[in-house]
Amino acid sequence: MRNKKREAVIDWRDIDTVLLDMDGTLLDKHFDDYFWEQYVPEVYASQNNISIFTAEEELLAKYKEQEGGLAWTDLDFWSEQLDLDIERLKKEVDHLIAIHPYVLEFLEFCRNHGKRIYLVTNAHPKTLAIKMAKTKLAREFDELICADEIGLAKEEPLFWEKLQGRIAYDKKRTLLADDNERVLASAAAYGIGHLIFVAKSSSRLPTLYSANFPSIIFFKELMEPSHSGAPKKGL
């Protein structure tokens, strides 16, 4: 069943490296959904003197053509395709960028337990810069890595091999958390040992658990004393 939760059971003693997705995992995906599904269609409709309905139809078709590849998140690509300054438009609504609950506590937890922490995102470097400027999260990571720098989207198993050349992680002792099942499946195919699905990517959408991977709603679930290696309450 797609909406039956598989509990995440983590032994932190078996993990050295934590890889974290950004949009939908650390940050509320409401910003991205609103931007691409409402704000861009409104601006596109106005600029092209067409109805919102027509704009939405045209844009949805364009989005689907690029979904799952590097172009999907490439701000320069979409600026050229749509004749819009996508970077500027994102900055106009950056007040909607928000960190998910318990993310800061989880990052502190990982740091206190000696884990290496990397942000690994398909987001374009310009999008990453906008969101890090707004959230101040960059200082929490050992490194920030965009798929654009690797040359492949995270949906490709070869991405994870190339990433190893960048940060030299032991895949069996690595945890990856992501809200995208295709990404988790590609990481599983490569052999990453600990995979977590974030089941509530947007504060405005219902929780939807993965049928294939252990799921969490909030990162506080991975800090519970029931997880081996996690500190006991009161200690």
List, in order, residues 6 or more apart from 130 with CB less than 8 Å away: 87, 90, 91, 94, 97
Catalytic, out of 14, 16, 33, 142? 14
DSSP secondary structure, the chain, as one string? -TTSPPBP---GGG-SEEEE-SBTTTB-THHHHHIIIIIHHHHHHHHHT--HHHHHHHHHHHHHHHTTSGGGG-HHHHHHHHTS-HHHHHHHTGGG--BPTTHHHHHHHHHHTT-EEEEEE-S-HHHHHHHHHHH--GGGSSEEEEHHHHTS-TTSHHHHHHHHHHH---GGGEEEEES-HHHHHHHHHHT-SEEEEES---TTS-----SSS-EESSGGGGGSTTSTTSPPTT-
* Model pLDDT, residue 235: 34
Encode pLDDT of 191-214 as tens digits.
Answer: 999 999 999 999 999 999 999 999
Q: Is 14 a catalytic residue?
A: yes
Question: What are the average pLDDT values for consecutive 10-residue runs of the chain, which has 235 residues?
Answer: 79 97 98 97 97 96 89 93 97 97 97 97 96 97 96 95 94 97 97 97 96 96 76 44
The domains of the chain, with CATH numbers, are 12-29+98-223 (3.40.50.1000), 31-95 (no CATH)
Q: What is the dihedral of CA 117, 119, 125, 127, to 10 degrees?
A: -130
* Model pLDDT, residue 67: 85
Count of C-beta atoms within a 10 Å radius of residue 82: 19
DSSP secondary structure, 58-69, as one string? HHHHHHHHHTTS
Neighbouring-strand partners of residue 145: 120
* Model pLDDT, residue 4: 81
